[in-house]
Amino acid sequence: MSQNVLKQVSLSQNSKLSEVFSNPEKYEVQIIYSRIIRTDGAVEFEDYKYRVDAEAYFYPASTVKLPIAVLSLEKVNELSEEGIDIYKSTPYHLENDSINHSIANDIDAIFAVSDNDAYNRLFEFLGQDYINAKLKSKGLAPVRISHRFSGEGSGDTLTKQMIFKTENGEFKLPVSNNAKADSLMIHDVIKGVGYIENEEKVDEPFSFAFKNYFPLETQHKLMKMLFFPGNFPKSKNFHIEPEQMEFLKQAMATLPGEAGYDEQEFYDSYGKFFIYGDSKERIPSHIKIYNKVGYAYGTLTETAYITDEKNNIEFLLSASLLVNQNGIFNDGVYEYKHLGIPFLAELGRELHQKELKRKK
């Protein structure tokens, strides 16, 4: 392997990078960058890593929505005989709720604006045991998806009944009673000096021991599997039809305005931190970012496959960092805007520039 590109970037004098790279332990920085080498129709990866450690916990936040979207497509295919169809947007509703939804619309909302309610509904569709068993069967490990987002019952082990209205009539998806999550026995799941609970400050470190766990290497591998399935054994590929995969990729790259959301509130980079996160300008049409971001409890994470069609550039990039200067969790006081997102944006720009120079 040639000189570590991420080591070069870490020595940058750009203030958006240097403040974080000068104290990577404090900011819990982890980065994986993959160059994509195409020769005679085959693809090889040149991987570079910076402080990557699956045993060093970070809260993955909304990045877990990516595997849930993928597995939902696979489960739709498993239920095709019941008349559930992703293309016909088979409507469904949850028990004790009359509002209709569809799996396709939920997946669109997950990527366009990182919709928590859409994720929670797909979580009911799958259930914890199905999610974790499927990911393990694909060789995606370590990983542990254990809860929905926000609200009471986020960690309930019993899923809600889903009722689909198919052309064959009503189909009630069986509820699943899932195993309770074990406490994570890895490094640094206890963080900070305090946290807010019921509007009161608790002067004790905050425990993430029962939270979702989706380390950076697992995220990065999932992106490789989605965009370069030929590099993995067929037995590990997702059972998703080509048209469904195109639907998924389109959803991943779609900008909020393209999906009909208010562009003043949901600007192009609302869910695209690499390269453009610190700007509200439009993202050029020749740049496509197939990604998922997550941010909560002061942790920012993004995993992405980035293409520049004009310059014939493509690369994979995943990164995570913690920006919680006061060490208090759940207080809403984090340095996302002036520190975390500018870091990820500049990181993306630096690597894009290195790809441009490499092409020349």
Residue 6 has pLDDT above 50, yes or no: yes
pLDDT at 132 over 50: yes
What is the predicted pLDDT for the residue at 211? 97
Buried b (16+ CB within 10 A) or exposed e, 300-332: bbbbbbbbbeeeebbbbbbbbbbbbeeebbbbe
Q: Under a CB-based contact definition with an 8 Å cutoff, are residues 116 and 150 in contact?
A: yes
Beginning with the edge strand found earlier in the chain, give each strand of the sheet holding 200-202 in spatial order.
200-202, 194-197, 328-329
Q: What is the pLDDT averaged over residues 40-64?
A: 97
List CB contacts of 4: < 8 A, sequence separation 6 or more: 48, 50
Comparing 83 with 359, which gets the higher pLDDT? Answer: 83
Which pLDDT score is estimated for 152? 77
DSSP 231: G
Place of tokens 């819990």: 28
Contact of 17 with 343, CB cutoff 8 Å? yes
3-state SS, residue 321: strand
What is the spatial distance between Cα 301 and Cα 32, in angstroms, rounded to a whole number? 12
Tens of pLDDT, residue by residue over 29-44, are 999 999 999 999 899 9
Spell out the domain ranges in the chain. 5-359
Give the residue among 150, 187, 201, 200 at the shortest CA–CA distance from 328: 201
Q: Six-digit token pair at 167?
A: 């052309």
pTM of the model as a whole: 0.97
Q: Give the pLDDT confidence of 62-101 residue by residue, as tens digits.
A: 999 999 999 999 999 999 999 998 877 899 999 999 999 9
Backbone angles phi, psi at 124, to 5 degrees: -65, -40
Whether the per-residue pLDDT at 320 is higher than 70: the answer is yes
DSSP 177: B
pLDDT level of residue 150 (50, 70, 90 thresholds): confident
Share of the chain above pLDDT 90, in %: 95
* 162-219 confidence digits (pLDDT tens): 999 999 899 999 999 999 999 999 999 999 999 999 999 999 999 999 999 999 999 9
Closest CA to 289 of 345, 234, 341: 345
The mean predicted confidence, pLDDT, of the chain is 96
CA angle 70, 343, 53 (to 5 degrees): 60
Long-range contacts of the stretch 34-43 (C-beta < 8 A, 24+): 34/220, 34/224, 34/315, 34/316, 34/317, 35/5, 35/315, 35/355, 35/358, 36/228, 36/314, 36/315, 36/316, 43/228, 43/230, 43/231
Contact 289, 283 (CB under 8 A): yes
Q: Does the pLDDT of residue 2 top 70, yes or no? A: no
pLDDT of the residue at 1: 41
Amino acid (one-letter) located at 161: Q
Q: Is the peptide bond before 142 cis (omega within 30 degrees of 0)?
A: yes
Instruction: Report the C-alpha gap between 186 and 213 in whole angstroms.
Output: 10
Q: Residue 3 — very low, low, confident or very high, per pLDDT cuts 50/70/90?
A: low
From CA 107, how far away is CA 314, in angstroms rounded? 24
| Inter-residue contact 342 to 273 (CB < 8 Å) | no
Topology of the domain comprising 5-359:
Beta-lactamase (3.40.710)
Of 311 and 1, more confident? 311
270/258 Cα distance (integer angstroms): 13
